[in-house]
């Protein structure tokens, strides 16, 4: 299994991070992909990758809820400079996108930051890992502007309707990231996924958030991705081995630098 979205570099894991890594390995997790959220998270993320090369892989991006009107342009400029370093370790642009759930006062800046980071993906030939909350139509509109750019990536933490899934699947290089929400009793995902080919999904945890049943309400971790896999196998009426094989292939196709960077030790020099 490949956990395509996990924040185990965050402070919630400061007391047992190595145990979390070990449990993930024992559960069968082959790789953990780490989306960045802001300038402050780069160093701890890279430190974790330095300690676990070939296992933990970093992304680079500014999360929409971290877009501050007074500072985001400089923060983005500094981040893109990191992508110009030869042999940089970043496997994707993420976690980026739009989030109007808590606050729409910075909507203009969020949209500008999102477009800037889409253009990073184009210039640097990297996939996008996209967060969207209460902003589905705005997301589709922004992505449509770049339809001809052969972009690839993940629509992270998909939890929408079948119609929303169809709108996102119109972008052929993208897959839907499915996590713990699929296991929730009131989730609409089992019905929505009826129209989604297994070849268009990847597994994720979003640790420490959105732990699956039977861990709901607790701190999520990468080892819990087993519960997501089991639920997906049930929904698609296939074996767990088939889900693992197909979703692993999907993740490797979207994130080719996982394989390209094998053996390269991630270093603090990239910060």
Quote the pLDDT of residue 94. Answer: 94
Asked if 219 contacts 12 with a C-beta cutoff of 8 angstroms, the reply is: yes
- What is the DSSP pairing of strand 56-58 with strand 93-99? unpaired
Asked if 96 contacts 146 with a C-beta cutoff of 8 angstroms, the reply is: no
Quote the pLDDT of residue 265. Answer: 44
Asked if 4 contacts 203 with a C-beta cutoff of 8 angstroms, the reply is: yes
Quote the pLDDT of residue 261. Answer: 63
To the nearest whole percent, how much of the chain has pLDDT over 90? 94
Task: Check pLDDT > 50 for residue 267.
Answer: no
Mean pLDDT of the chain: 95
Q: At 24, give phi and psi (nearest 5°).
A: -65, -45
User: What CA–CA distance (Å, rounded) separates 228 from 225?
Assistant: 5
- Beta bridge partners, 178, equal 203
Determine the 3-state secondary structure of 135 from DSSP. coil
User: What CA–CA distance (Å, rounded) separates 184 from 117?
Assistant: 32
The predicted model gives 97-106 an average pLDDT of: 93
Longest dimension (CA), the chain: 50
Quote the pLDDT of residue 155. Answer: 98
Give the pLDDT band (50/70/90) at residue 243: very high
**Chain centroid offset of residue 169 CA:** 17
The residue whose two tokens read 């990297």 is 126
Quote the pLDDT of residue 262. Answer: 56
pLDDT in tens, 135-184: 999 999 999 999 999 999 999 999 999 999 999 999 999 999 999 999 99
User: How many C-beta neighbours within 10 Å does residue 207 have?
Assistant: 27
**Whether the bond into 214 is cis, omega within 30 of 0:** yes
The predicted model gives 24-50 an average pLDDT of: 98
pLDDT in tens, 201-232: 999 999 999 999 999 999 999 999 999 999 99
Give the pLDDT band (50/70/90) at residue 260: confident
Cα Rg of the chain, angstroms: 17
């Amino acid at each position: 299994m490949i956990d395509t979205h996990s924040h185990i570099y965050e402070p919630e894991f400061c007391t047992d991070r190595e145990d979390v890594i070990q449990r993930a390995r024992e559960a069968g997790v082959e790789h953990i992909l780490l989306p960045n959220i802001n300038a402050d998270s780069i160093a701890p993320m890279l430190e974790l990758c330095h300690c676990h090369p070939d296992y933990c892989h970093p992304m680079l991006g500014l999360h929409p809820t971290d877009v501050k009107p007074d500072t985001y342009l400089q923060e983005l400029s500094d981040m893109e400079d990191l992508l110009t370093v030869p042999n940089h370790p970043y496997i994707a642009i993420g976690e980026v996108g739009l989030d109007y759930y808590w606050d729409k006062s910075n909507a203009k800046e969020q949209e500008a930051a999102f477009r800037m980071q889409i253009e990073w993906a184009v210039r640097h030939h990297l996939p996008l890992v996209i967060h969207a909350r209460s902003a589905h139509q705005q997301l589709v509109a922004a992505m449509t502007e770049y339809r001809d750019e052969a972009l690839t990536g993940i629509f992270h933490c998909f939890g929408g309707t079948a119609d929303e899934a169809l709108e996102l699947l119109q972008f052929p290089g993208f897959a839907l990231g499915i996590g713990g929400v699929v296991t929730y009793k009131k989730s609409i995902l089992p019905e929505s996924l009826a129209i989604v080919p297994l070849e268009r999904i990847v597994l994720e945890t979003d640790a420490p958030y959105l732990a699956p049943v039977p861990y709901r309400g607790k701190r999520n971790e990468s080892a819990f991705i087993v519960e997501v896999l089991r639920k997906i196998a049930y929904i698609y009426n296939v074996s767990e081995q088939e889900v693992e094989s197909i979703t692993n292939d999907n993740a490797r196709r979207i994130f080719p630098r996982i394989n390209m960077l094998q053996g390269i030790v991630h270093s603090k020099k990239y910060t």
